[in-house]
Amino acid sequence: MQEQARIVKKTNGTADVKEERVSPLKYIKTSEIRQDEEYETIVPRPSQDDYSTLKESIQNVGIRVPLIVDQEFVLLDGYTRYKAATELATPEVPIEVRQFKNRLETMLFIVEINVARRHLTVAQKANLGLKLLSLEKELAKERQIRKPGSVPPILVGQKCETREAGEKYGRGKVPPTLVEPIEDSNEGMALTHAAKKVGVGRETLRKAKRVQDKVAEYPELGDRWQQALAGKDSVDGVYRRLEILETEHEVSSPTQPVIESYSELPVDQIIFGDCIEKLKVLPNDSVDLIVTSPPYGENRESTYGGVPPKEYVGWFLPIADELRRVLKPDGSFILNIKERVIDGERGTYVYELVLALRQRGWRWVEEYIWAKKNTTPGHWSTRFQDRWERCYHFTKSEDFRMYQSEVKEPIGSWAKKRLENLSEADLTRLESGTKSGFGRNISRWVGKDTVYPSNVLILATESSHKGHSAAFPERLPAWFIRLFTKEGDLILDPFLGSGTTAVAAINLGRHFIGVEKHPPYFRVAQQRVEEAQIEFAKNGTPADYFLPVSKTNGEG
């Protein structure tokens, strides 16, 4: 056996590098090394490229970092180097001998050494975190077994072999359930601890654990997890898939039969899934009003998934065609949307969408502005605070229903003063100076308490209370619902989010259908809808739904 002094490079905290001589290296014959399948699979294998680079380096300069083995030369760490050495027929390899109390502690060591040393992806770290969790759980059990007087935990299907367990549960008996389960708080602490050790967020490790726990139920997750370990998916991506599988499982059948008649419509229900699929089951001309706020054009996937600006029109048009098919001929479609700033410029996809919708047969009747009342000030070097969003009004025909008097507002205190002192000009129709055709005859307002609002709706944002990052205020859909429908009519929101449109419809005695594809929002929406139904049955429409929205005419 050849011996050689080992040189370890070590930084001293500054830019220069110091060399430190540590214990001499031991060399053994490569053929003496023994492998252990379980140890080998603890850490992820490198990619083919990384492996080739390592092999080339070993061919040129030999193995620089010793393999770690136990006293029986069972390989603990260095499986990739060992594989390369074997393939290169390297006769001897450097080793460092480490001994641990038992197998569990050996595995803990392997996990820890690899976390500290290797460049791992988040999914790979999370995978090691899972391993740590299960090892530590096993160790905790082991320690308890050894504690004098303690009754060891017994796993399902395991016989009570020890004296203590036998006394408690009957010697040789198999307890029906896990005895002494690890408490939730212990599990929580173990999760925090393991996440910290492997360098991922606790939430990431929790998601990875849930995925792992569900693989037996949803085998597809096993493949997705392998994809994540290979860098082709993420922990979040696999977890989102789990949420979808669970929600599909929870809400009866993911595919619904085509509905032939209005009476079979899934009225007052939230449909889970992608609206492009789910809208297809609804019959033609069945909905009175569509109010919706689709996901924005995003370069990246955000909380609930965005659509790249370049693909936006192509993505939205098939959905818009379905919306047009299901909308009644005299119904309306309100589209709440605002283009994002991309690379310092406002995107043009909303304009392109409007033109494309017109080409597909939609009539663009009006553009309402939702001006936000409660935004937080800020500073942007090339623009100011963005304080408004569009609400486009589209229809299928010129002959659409609109109940304007339903949204009339108190005339406001300013009017009293103005109308007390009418001039001569006020008594005749004053044509607009811009020849726009809009004139005014102020004397016609004398004795009137209410006026029509403008197309600017001034409403506070509310999203922080609704479990959705882009929820609109209830009063926004409520205002359009009052303007375009009557009690008992049917409102559709194909991008329901946290359920705001459904809540507004319920609160105004209308029916709704909502579609949402993101499980967490689907659940929030379901809960809000249930609460709104109970609340509406008790108290009717909330009074604030009738507050004026036009600042100029009232309180807003």
Region near ligand SAM per CB under 6 A, out of 45-53, 199-207, 447-455, 496-504: 496-504
Distance from the first to the final alpha carbon of the chain: 88
333 binds ligand SAM (CB under 6 A): no
- Contact between 209 and ligand SAM by CB under 6 A: the answer reads no
Q: Quick check: helix, strand or coil at residue 489?
A: coil
Region from 7-15, 194-202, 407-415, 497-505 binding ligand SAM, contact rule CB under 6 A: 497-505
According to the binding rule CB under 6 A, does residue 312 interact with ligand SAM?
A: no
Determine the 3-state secondary structure of 225 from DSSP.
helix
Q: Is 162 helix (H, G, I), strand (E, B) or coil?
A: coil
Q: Tell me the two tokens of residue 324.
A: 């047009």
For residue 196, what are the contacts with CB-CB under 8 A and spacing of at least 6? none
Smallest gap from residue 532 Cβ to ligand SAM (A)? 13
Candidates 92-100, 182-190, 418-426, 515-523; binding stretch for ligand SAM (CB under 6 A): 515-523
Token pair, residue 163, equals 């004296």
Based on the shown chain and the rule CB under 6 A, indicate whether residue 305 belongs to the binding site for ligand SAM.
Answer: yes
**Applying CB under 6 A, which of residues 190, 323, 391, 471 lies at the interface with ligand SAM?**
471
To the nearest 5 percent, what fractions of the chain are helix, strand and coil? 45, 20, 40
Residue 275 interacting with ligand SAM (CB under 6 A): yes
125/128 Cα distance (integer angstroms): 5
Which of these segments, 14-22, 376-384, 451-459, 512-520, binds ligand SAM (CB under 6 A)? 512-520
- The kind and range of the H/E element at 311 are none
Query: Please, is 207 exposed, middle or buried when counting C-beta atoms within 10 Å of its C-beta (0-12, 13-18, 19+)?
Result: buried
Q: Which of 497, 514, 542, 556 binds ligand SAM (CB under 6 A)?
A: 497
* SS3 assignment, position 301: coil
Q: Residues binding ligand SAM: what is the number (CB under 6 A)?
A: 22
Binding flag, residue 201, ligand SAM (CB under 6 A)? no
- Note whether 197 binds ligand SAM by CB under 6 A: no
Give the x/- contact pattern for ligand SAM in 219-258, rule: CB under 6 A: ----------------------------------------
Q: How far is the CB of 351 from ligand SAM (least distance, A)?
A: 19
Q: Decide if residue 500 touches ligand SAM (CB under 6 A).
A: yes
205 binds ligand SAM (CB under 6 A): no
* Of 369, 256, 249, 353, residue with least CA distance to 310: 353
Q: Judged by CB under 6 A, does residue 391 bind ligand SAM?
A: no
- In single-letter form, the type of residue at position 312 comes to Y
Among 517, 529, 550, 556, the residue binding ligand SAM under the rule CB under 6 A is 517
Q: Which of 542, 509, 548, 522 is nearest to 274 (CA)?
A: 522
Residue 466 one-letter amino acid: K
Which of 476, 478, 480, 441 minimizes the C-alpha distance to 462? 476
Position with the least CB separation from ligand SAM: 497
Residue closer to ligand SAM, measured from CB, 334 or 451: 334
User: Which lies closer to ligand SAM via its Cβ, residue 212 or residue 247?
Assistant: 247
Please tell me whether residue 407 binds ligand SAM under the rule CB under 6 A. no
Cα–Cα distance measured from residue 496 to residue 511, given in angstroms and rounded to the nearest whole number: 14
User: Closest CB to ligand SAM among 82 and 495?
Assistant: 495
Q: What is the CA radius of gyration of the chain?
A: 34
Residues sharing a CB contact under 8 Å with residue 34, sequence separation 6 or more, in sequence order = 72, 73, 74, 75
Which residues contact ligand SAM (rule: CB under 6 A)?
274-276, 293-295, 304-305, 466, 468, 470-472, 495, 497-498, 500, 515-518, 521
